[in-house]
Amino acid sequence: MATLSPRRRVAAAAAVVMLAVFGWLIYGGLDKNVVFFLTPEELIEKGAKGYDVPVRLGGRVKPGTVKWDDKTLRLTFSVVDTGGVGEIAVVSSGAPPQMFRDGMGVVVEGRYGHDNIFQSTSLMVKHSNEYRPPKAGEKPQQMYKTLMKGAGT
Amino acid sequence: MTGLLAHDALLVSFVVIFFGLIAVPVAVRTGRRDWMMLAYSAVYTNFLLVTVAVGSMLYALVTHDFSVSYVAQVGSRATPLFYTVISLWGALEGSILFWAWVLGIYAAASVWVNRRREGNLIPYAVVVLLLISLFFAILLVGPADPFKAVFPVLPDGPGPNPLLQNHILMAVHPPLLYLGYVGYSVPFAFAIGGVLSRDIERDDWIRLARRWTLIAWAFHSAAIIAGMWWSYEVLGWGGYWAWDPVENASFMPWLVATAFLHSVIVQERRGMLRLWNLNLIVGTFVLTILGTFLTRSGIISSVHAFTTGTIGYYFLAFIAVVLFGSLMVVAGNSDRLRTTGRYDAVASRETVFLLNNLFLTAFMFTVLIGTLFPLAAEAARGVKVSVGVPFFNRMTLPMIVSLLFLMGVGPALPWKSSTRAEIKDKLLVPAIGAFVLLVVALAAGMRSVYGSLAFAFVGYAAMANLREYWIGMRARRAAHGEGWGTALVRLINGNRRRYGGYVAHLGIFLVALGIAGSQSFRTEREATLKPGETMILDGRTIKLKELWGRQEPQRAVIGATFDITINGKSRGTAEPRMNFYPTSQTPIPTPDVKSSILGDLYFNLQSIREDGSAATIKVIHEPLVPWIWFGGLVVVCGALIAMFPGGRVRETLTADLPR
C-alpha cells in the first residue's frame, strides 16, 4: 500500500469522503422516515413519544364504531388489538373500501394527534392474497346482488 | 398423464445438465471440438425438455386437468381462455417454470449464436448457464413443483388471483420482466466465462456482454414501465410508483445494468474500468436473484408474493453461492483486470461517465438500504417498521435531477481533453432549452424545486442530445449533399450505438417530464353523487349518469357511467367499475382513464351505497401521465437501434476521436 501514487491517494481519499457523506445522508434520511408498525396497545404504551410521528397502525375495526358520512366524506372508527385490548379512535377522509365493515383487519397510516385521535392518510384493508373459496357468511356475491337490483340495468 | 410426462422431462434435464457440466472440462482439457459440441447440445436439449414441461402445463391449464396441483391452484372453468393461458405465470410454481423456460431460451440462443467462436469463453459461459439452469431445475422438482398429483381430483378450481385476471397488462408485464431479469444471466455467464478462460485481457467478453445486456435491458425497461402502468390501471389509487419493495426489486438491477451500459463504453474506448464493469455485471445478476427472493419468498407481502414456503431459503443459498463464487473468480484475476488507459482531464466525457456511474450506484444502494432496512430491523430488534416514501424521495430526487443534467453534459463533452472554446459552445447553447422548459413549467404553476429542476434539466439535456443529431446531419449535408431525411438515417446507421443511446435518452426525458408533471400538477376530488348530480374538477364538469350492474361468467360487475363536459362541450363518458370475483372478499377496483396528450382524467369508483342510490367517486386530473408510457416506448426503440449489429463502426470510431 505504501506504493500508492499521489494520484491514487487522492482518489482513495475522495472515495472515503464520498462514502462517509453518503452514509451520513442515508442515516439521517432513515432516522426521520422510518415508520413503525404498531398495534393500538403498543402505540398507547409509547406515551408521549407516540404522538405526531408517522405510524402504521394495525388491528381490527371495533364493531359498532364505524361512522361514514358520504356527504362530507368523513370516516371515523376505532381500531383495537386482535385480542380486543387497546383502542384508538381514527379519523380518515375519503371513502372506505366497499367491503369495509366491523371486525375486519385494517392498517391505517398517519399520525396520532395530541387530541388522542389518529389522523389517517391511507387505509388498507387486510385480506389474504391466497386463493381460497369464500367461507359461509362471507359472500360478496350477495352484496353485489342487492346493488344490482337497486341499480337497475 | 401430462404431469408424469413433465416430471420425466424435468428429471431427464438433470441428467442432461450434469452431462454438460462434465463435457465442458473434458472438451477444454483435450481441446476436442466434438466434446464441445456435445456440451453445447446439453444446453439445447435442456431447453427442449423445459419446453416439454411448459407445453404440458399449458395443455393441463387449457384442458382444466385439476389432477395437476398448479391447475388445481389457479385454474377454473369459468376463467376466459386468455386468462387461463397467462395464469401460467400467475402463481409461484408456474412462474418458476416460466423462468426456467425463459432461461432455456436465452441459454440456447446465446450459445447457438456464438457456437463457432474460438477460445474457451463460451464453454465456460456454458458451465455458468448450466449451473443456473440446475438451480431452477432443483426448484422445479423441490419446493416449486407445479406438477404434483392431486387426489381427490376436484371438478373445478378457484381461478387465478383476481388482481391478476382483471387487466390485459397482466399478459404483458410479467413476460417482459422475465425476459429482462433472466436475460442478465447471459452477460453474467459471459463475464465469468471471460475471466475463467483467461481471455479477459482481450476485452472480448465485454462486446458480447454489452449486446446481451442491452437485449435484457430493453425488455426490463419495458417491463418496469408496464408494471407502473398496470399499477396505475388496476389498483385504483391513481399512482404508478410508491417505492414499494417489489417495485424496488425490479428497479435495482435496472440501475446497475444502466450503469454498465454506460461504463462499458469507457472500457471499450479508453481501456479503463475493467474490474468495475465486471462487478457491475455480477451485481446486476445478483440483484435479479435478490429481487426474486424478495418478491417470491413471501417475506414481503404483495401481489407478487404467492404462498410462503421454503423457497426463500433456496434463493438465499443461491445468492450466497453466486456472490461467493463470483468474488473468488473476480478477486483471483484482478491483477489481469488493470486499467490500460489514462484519465486525462476533468472536463471530458470520461468524467461524466464516472459521475453517471457514481450516481447510479449510489441510487441503487439507497434503494437497496431502504428496501432491506425493515428486514434488518425486524431480524435484529424484532420491531416492525417500514421506510416511508419521504426517505426515498428525499434521497433520490437530487440524484435523479443530477443524472438528467449529466445526460445533457455527457454527449456534449469530447473524450479525453478539449479546448475551452469548444466546451463553452457545447455547454452554453443548450441552456436555451433549459430556460424555455423552466418558463413553461413556472407558467403552468410549478412550485416544487425538484419539479422545476427536472423541467429545466430535461430542457437542457434534450437540447444537447438533439443538437448532436443536428450537428451530425449538418455535417453530412455539407460533406455529401444529402437531404435532411437521408442524412438522419445515415447518421444513425453510421453509429447506431451512439444515436440509439441518444434516442433512449429522449425517452427518459419524456418519462421524467411525465413524472414531474403528474406529481406537481395533480388535482383530485372525491364526492358522493346520486344519478343526475355533478361535480367540478379543474373546469371539467362530471355528471353521474347512471349506476348499473351485470353478471359475467367469471365475475360480477358494478359500474357507473359519467358524462364529462368542458365549457359546455361534451367530452365523452367514463365507466369506472368494481369487479367482484367469487374468490375475493373485496371487489377489485377497475378505474377508467380518459387520456389525452396533455394528461389523464382518472375515474375510480370508491364505493356504492348499499341500496344503489349513490356512488362515491374519486376523480384525479393527472397531467402528462401518458408521456411516461410513451417515453418508455421511445427508450425501448433507442435500445433496439443500439442493439442491431452492423453499421460502419470503423469510420465512426475515428470520426469520434478528439478533433
Q: Say if B331 falls within a structural domain.
A: no
**Residue B83 Rama label (left phi>0; alpha psi -120 to 50; beta):** alpha
Identify whether residues B37 and B148 lie together within a single domain: yes
Identify whether residues B33 and B155 lie together within a single domain: yes
Instruction: From chain A, pick out residues whose CB is under 8 angstroms from the CB of B160.
Output: 131
Q: In which residue ranges of chain B is pLDDT below 70? A: 1, 199-202, 300-309, 645-659
Q: Could you tell me the residue ranges of all domains in chain A?
A: 36-140
Name the minimum distance, in Å, from the CA of B62 to any CA of chain A: 19
Q: Tell me the CATH number at B581.
A: 2.60.98
Q: Are strands A74-80 and A54-61 parallel, antiparallel or unpaired?
A: antiparallel
Q: How many CB atoms lie within 10 A of CB A110?
A: 19
Angle B30-B33-B34 from CA coordinates, rounded to 5°: 100
For testing contact with chain B, the best of A39, A69, A98 (most B CBs within 10 A): A98
pLDDT of residue A107: 86
Q: In this structure, what are the phi and psi dihedrals at residue B233, rounded to the nearest 5 degrees?
A: -80, -25
Q: In this structure, what are the phi and psi dihedrals at residue B418, rounded to the nearest 5 degrees?
A: -150, 170
Identify whether residues B497 and B444 lie together within a single domain: yes
Q: How many CB atoms lie within 10 A of CB B64?
A: 17
Nearest CB to A98 within list B73, B383, B607: B607
pLDDT of residue B308: 57
Q: Which fold has domain A36-140?
A: OB fold (Dihydrolipoamide Acetyltransferase, E2P) (2.40.50)
CB proximity under 8 Å: B 596-615 to A:
606-614
pLDDT in tens, A28-39: 888 888 888 888
Nearest CB to A99 within list B358, B390, B585: B585
pLDDT of residue B350: 86
Identify whether residues B545 and B581 lie together within a single domain: yes
Calpha distance B603→B613 (Å, rounded) = 19
pLDDT in tens, A37-92: 888 998 998 888 889 888 989 888 888 888 888 888 889 999 998 777 788 999 98
Nearest CA in chain A to B609: A147
Contacts of B282 (CB under 8 A, 6+ apart): B188, B191, B192, B322, B326, B330
Nearest CA in chain B to A11: B343
Omega into B623 within 30° of 0, i.e. cis? Answer: no
Identify whether residues B5 and B126 lie together within a single domain: yes
pLDDT of residue B362: 95
Q: Residue B590 in 3-state DSSP?
A: strand
Angle B461-B463-B465 from CA coordinates, rounded to 5°: 70
Q: Say if B365 falls within a structural domain.
A: no
Q: Which of B343, B244, B285 is nearest to B129 (CA)?
A: B285
Q: In this structure, what are the phi and psi dihedrals at residue B254, rounded to the nearest 5 degrees?
A: -65, -40
Q: Which residue has the cell 377489485?
A: B588
Type and span of the H or E element at B131 = helix B121-141
Chain A touched by B341 (CB under 8 Å): no
Q: Say if B78 falls within a structural domain.
A: yes
Domain boundary among B146, B166, B186: B166
Nearest CB to B609 within list A70, A97, A152: A70
Q: Are strands B615-623 and B599-608 parallel, antiparallel or unpaired?
A: antiparallel
Q: Say if B263 falls within a structural domain.
A: no
Identify whether residues B537 and B551 lie together within a single domain: yes
How is residue B461 written as a grid cell?
A: 439535456
Identify whether residues B527 and B514 lie together within a single domain: no
Instruction: From chain B, pick out residues whose CB is under 8 angstroms from the CB of A95.
Output: 526, 528, 606-607, 616, 618
Q: How many CB atoms lie within 10 A of CB B230?
A: 22
Calpha distance B225→B3 (Å, rounded) = 36
CA atoms within 13 A on the CB side of B94: 27
Nearest CB to B582 within list A56, A134, A145: A134
How many domains, in total, are found in chain B? Answer: 3
pLDDT of residue A134: 43
pLDDT of residue A63: 87
Q: Is the dihedral of CA B363, B366, B367, B368 positive or negative?
A: positive
Chain B touched by A34 (CB under 8 Å): yes
Calpha distance B659→B656 (Å, rounded) = 8
A26 contacts B306? CB cut-off 8 A: no
Q: Complex ipTM above 0.90?
A: no
Name the minimum distance, in Å, from the CA of B607 to any CA of chain A: 5
Identify whether residues B35 and B72 lie together within a single domain: yes
A131 contacts B383? CB cut-off 8 A: no
Q: Say if B213 falls within a structural domain.
A: no
Q: Say if B512 falls within a structural domain.
A: yes
Q: Say if B324 falls within a structural domain.
A: no
Q: Say if B90 falls within a structural domain.
A: yes
Q: Is the CB of residue B212 less than 8 Å from the CB of residue B182?
A: no
Identify whether residues B13 and B128 lie together within a single domain: yes
pLDDT of residue B211: 92
Q: Which domain holds residue B29?
A: 1-166
Identify whether residues B87 and B68 lie together within a single domain: yes
Instruction: State the DSSP string of B516-571.
Output: HHHHHS-EEEEEEE-TT-EEEETTEEEEEEEEEEEEETTEEEEEEEEEEEETTEEE
Identify whether residues B69 and B141 lie together within a single domain: yes
Instruction: Please tell me the pTM assigned to this model.
Output: 0.91
Identify whether residues B507 and B529 lie together within a single domain: no
* pLDDT over 60 (residue A144): no
A22 contacts B586? CB cut-off 8 A: no
Type and span of the H or E element at A151 = helix A140-151
pLDDT category at A138 given cuts 50, 70, 90 is: very low
Contacts of B566 (CB under 8 A, 6+ apart): B539, B540, B541
Q: Is the dihedral of CA B472, B474, B479, B485 positive or negative?
A: positive
pLDDT of residue B52: 96
